């Protein structure tokens, strides 16, 4: 039987998932996106050339890969097909290697406008408890429609009469809000219909029953990677609600978002940045608003891959990482961006929290974000290193203090570290152990 591996982010996204999935994709035949939409920005660097993918699974650059968008993904037709065409223009012929689920949902112009108008209004009111700082791509509204059972699925493209009446009803609802509540112009039926008609044939050519394809692939000994978008703490259920995205980015989403049962998964690799970043609002206990942030920003190039916003930065937070290991059943970790720590005199790791009210120590992450306000991080301080680690491919060649840093994290979270990334390029990688090597 082929193996099924989930690769996901253990933090607030942008951990370097794209690079790692691209790297591992020479050992598998399928890569499946199971949730999210074009809010994701996954960066690959191959032979010095950078490509950012939003909807198309990382790994597609290799000819052996079939890229799949599962039912859990929300698909903007124009964005998706533009991305396909962008890759074709660069010489990656992928049109016949992309499949989408009959049951995935369309993200249309009115979703994007709704996201923009809502965020604009919340920002104006500068009400910190409600402004999320979304990517304004329409992700939330598209999932709201799905849950409200008025969403338009890919398979609706085969039933145009039904689709047209659904669209009329949805536009009545959205246009009422746009006009009355947000005091904005309405969106015309014809302009939304144009996007659907422009893209319908191409989408239907790629549409299929993904669940059966994946089960058959396993039977034929083909391995599959399930590519998480966003990260654990942006998950709608397990993240820092309400400062989250609108899908399940944790490992459970791989099952519901692709149509294969939970017993099908063999390995879950958690991708963890050596420090922390988040984009948008929400709690962040180890956030640094000082020269450490300038260091991470400068050497980690912490600008959003999708929206270009500056990412907030801070120290690694182990209570968060432990919770992530727990909710995802993570088998092992891949640590990324080790090279960004080069040159720091000291490196801090948050090992627990202290209550500002009663000085009590906590090892767990509070469920409600308001309860984070009463906590401060307790750090273990480790010595840094001056030598460059960028591009190092062997653990033994890392500076002693870097080796020590990695071993300490491994001891504190009690699961192995399989892979260390020392630069953005595919080749800047250390394989530490052979768990994954034995599996795929
Ligand atoms: P993703 O959303 O998890 O795929 O991550 P992004 O692509 O949004 O952000 C990660 C950024 O870090 C990208 O610019 C990558 O090229 C870069 N990157 C990935 N791994 C490393 C690494 O080990 N070192 C450095 N310096 N950059 C890395
Ligand atoms: P990748 O896959 C980092 C954040 C947004 C916002 C919140 C909700 O590249 O790691 P949304 O538009 O999803 O409704 O926004 O989630 N966010 C991400 N942050 N990386 C991402 O994706 C993200 N996708 C969404 O900044 O705080
Ligand atoms: Mg990203």
Task: Please state, in angstroms and rounded to a whole number, the distance separating the CA atoms of residues 168 and 351.
Answer: 53
pLDDT of residue 124: 85
Q: Where in 162-284 does DSSP place strands (E)?
A: 207-208, 224-227, 267-273, 275-278
- Is residue 161 part of the annotated active site? The answer reads no
Ligand index nearest the alpha carbon of residue 12? 2
Residue pLDDT, tens place only, 192-245: 999 999 999 999 999 999 999 999 999 999 999 999 999 999 999 999 999 999
Same domain, 63 and 148: no
Same domain, 399 and 254: no
pLDDT of residue 435: 73
pLDDT of residue 125: 79
Ligand index nearest the alpha carbon of residue 277? 2
Show the DSSP H helices in 13-65 as ranges: 17-24
> Which is the closest atom of ligand 2 to the Cα of 306?
9
> What's the predicted TM-score (pTM) here?
0.97
CATH code assigned at 156: 1.10.300.10
Same domain, 90 and 184: no
CATH code assigned at 35: 3.40.440.10
b/e burial code for range 191-226 (CB count within 10 A of at least 16 → b): ebbeebeebbebbeebbeebbebbeebbeeebbbbb
Same domain, 73 and 174: no
Say yes or no: CB of residue 230 within 6 Å of ligand 2: yes
Of 13, 14, 19, best ligand 1 pocket probe by most atoms within 8 Å of the beta carbon? 19
Centroid of ligand 3 to alpha carbon of 426 (angstroms):
16
Residue pLDDT, tens place only, 328-345: 999 999 999 999 999 999
pLDDT of residue 438: 79
Tell me which residue has its CA closest to atom 25 in ligand 1.
Answer: 423
Same domain, 118 and 196: yes
DSSP 97: G
| Residue 140 · residue 187 · CB < 8 Å | no
Q: Where in 88-171 does DSSP place strands (E)?
A: 98-101, 105-106
Mean pLDDT by 10 residues, the chain (440 residues): 97 98 95 98 92 96 96 98 97 96 98 97 82 97 98 98 98 98 97 98 98 97 98 98 98 98 97 97 97 97 90 98 98 97 98 96 94 96 97 98 97 96 95 80
Q: Which of 38, 42, 111, 238 is catalytic?
A: 42
Ligand index nearest the alpha carbon of residue 338? 1
Q: Give the residue from 339, 350, 415 showing the smallest Cα distance to 378.
A: 350
pLDDT of residue 306: 84
Say yes or no: CB of residue 13 within 6 Å of ligand 2: yes
CA geometry: angle 237, 107, 104, nearest 5 deg:
70
Same domain, 189 and 258: no
Same domain, 131 and 195: yes
Question: Which one of 203, 231, 258 terminates a domain?
Answer: 203
Say yes or no: CB of residue 142 within 6 Å of ligand 2: no
What interhelical angle do 189-206 and 77-89 show, nearest 10? 50
Question: Which one of 178, 203, 228 terminates a domain?
Answer: 203
Same domain, 193 and 131: yes
Say yes or no: CB of residue 134 within 6 Å of ligand 2: yes
Same domain, 32 and 113: no
Q: Give residue ranges with CB within 6 A of ligand 1.
A: 9, 13-19, 41-43, 45, 301, 305, 336-337, 339-340, 421-424
| Residue 312 · residue 284 · CB < 8 Å | yes
Tell me which residue has its CA closest to atom 23 in ligand 2.
Answer: 230
Same domain, 235 and 290: no
Domain that holds residue 388: 272-439
Centroid of ligand 2 to alpha carbon of 135 (angstroms):
6
Same domain, 350 and 395: yes
User: What is the total count of domains within the chain?
Assistant: 3
Of 230, 253, 301, 302, best ligand 2 pocket probe by most atoms within 8 Å of the beta carbon? 230
Ligand index nearest the alpha carbon of residue 275? 1
Phi and psi torsions of 199, nearest 5°: -115, -10
Q: How far apart are the first and last CA of the chain?
A: 11
- Is residue 14 part of the annotated active site? The answer reads yes
Tell me which residue has its CA closest to atom 11 in ligand 2.
Answer: 134
Tell me which residue has its CA closest to atom 10 in ligand 1.
Answer: 16
Residue pLDDT, tens place only, 280-315: 999 999 999 999 999 999 999 999 888 899 999 999
Question: Which one of 203, 218, 239 terminates a domain?
Answer: 203
Centroid of ligand 3 to alpha carbon of 9 (angstroms):
10
CATH code assigned at 352: 3.90.170.10
In DSSP terms, 285 is beta-bridged to: none
> Which is the closest atom of ligand 2 to the Cα of 39?
24
Same domain, 276 and 390: yes
């Amino acid at each position: 039987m082929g193996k099924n591996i989930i690769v996901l982010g253990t933090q607030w996204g942008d951990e370097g998932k794209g690079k790692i999935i691209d790297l591992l994709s020479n050992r598998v035949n399928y890569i499946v996106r199971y949730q999210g939409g074009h809010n994701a920005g996954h960066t690959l660097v191959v032979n010095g050339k950078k490509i950012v993918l939003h909807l198309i699974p990382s790994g597609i650059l290799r000819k052996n890969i079939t890229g799949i968008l599962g039912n859990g993904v929300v698909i903007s037709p124009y964005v998706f097909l533009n991305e396909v065409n962008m890759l074709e223009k660069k010489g990656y012929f992928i049109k016949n290697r992309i499949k989408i689920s009959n049951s995935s949902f369309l993200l249309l112009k009115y979703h994007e406008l709704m996201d923009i108008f809502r965020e604009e209004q919340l920002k104006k009111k500068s009400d910190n408890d409600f402004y999320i700082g979304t990517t304004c791509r329409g992700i939330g509204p598209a999932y709201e429609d799905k849950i409200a059972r008025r969403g338009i699925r890919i398979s609706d493209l085969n039933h145009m009469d039904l689709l047209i009446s659904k669209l009329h009803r949805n536009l009545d609802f959205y246009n009422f809000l746009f006009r009355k509540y947000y005091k904005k112009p309405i969106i015309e039926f014809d302009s939304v219909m144009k996007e659907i008609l422009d893209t319908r044939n191409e989408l239907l050519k790629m549409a299929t029953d993904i669940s059966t394809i994946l089960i058959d692939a396993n039977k034929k000994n083909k391995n599959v990677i399930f590519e998480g978008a966003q990260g654990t703490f942006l998950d709608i259920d397990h993240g820092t609600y309400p400062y989250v995205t609108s899908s399940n980015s944790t490992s459970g989403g791989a099952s519901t978002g692709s149509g294969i049962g939970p017993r099908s998964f063999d390995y879950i690799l958690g991708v963890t940045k050596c420090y922390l970043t988040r984009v948008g609002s929400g709690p962040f206990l180890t956030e640094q608003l000082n020269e450490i942030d300038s260091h991470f920003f400068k050497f980690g190039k912490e600008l959003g891959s999708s929206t270009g916003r500056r990412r907030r930065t801070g120290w690694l937070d182990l209570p968060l990482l432990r919770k992530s290991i727990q909710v995802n059943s993570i088998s092992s970790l891949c640590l990324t961006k080790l090279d960004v720590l080069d040159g720091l005199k000291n490196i801090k790791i948050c090992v627990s929290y202290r209550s500002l009210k009663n000085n009590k120590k906590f090892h767990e992450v509070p469920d409600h974000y308001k309860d984070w306000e009463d906590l401060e991080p307790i750090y273990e301080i480790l010595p840094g290193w001056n030598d460059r680690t960028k591009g190092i491919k062997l653990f033994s060649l890392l500076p002693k203090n870097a080796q020590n840093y990695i071993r300490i994290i491994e001891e504190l979270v009690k699961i192995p570290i399989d892979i260390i990334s020392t630069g953005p390029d595919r080749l800047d990688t250390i394989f530490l152990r052979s768990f994954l090597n034995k599996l795929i």
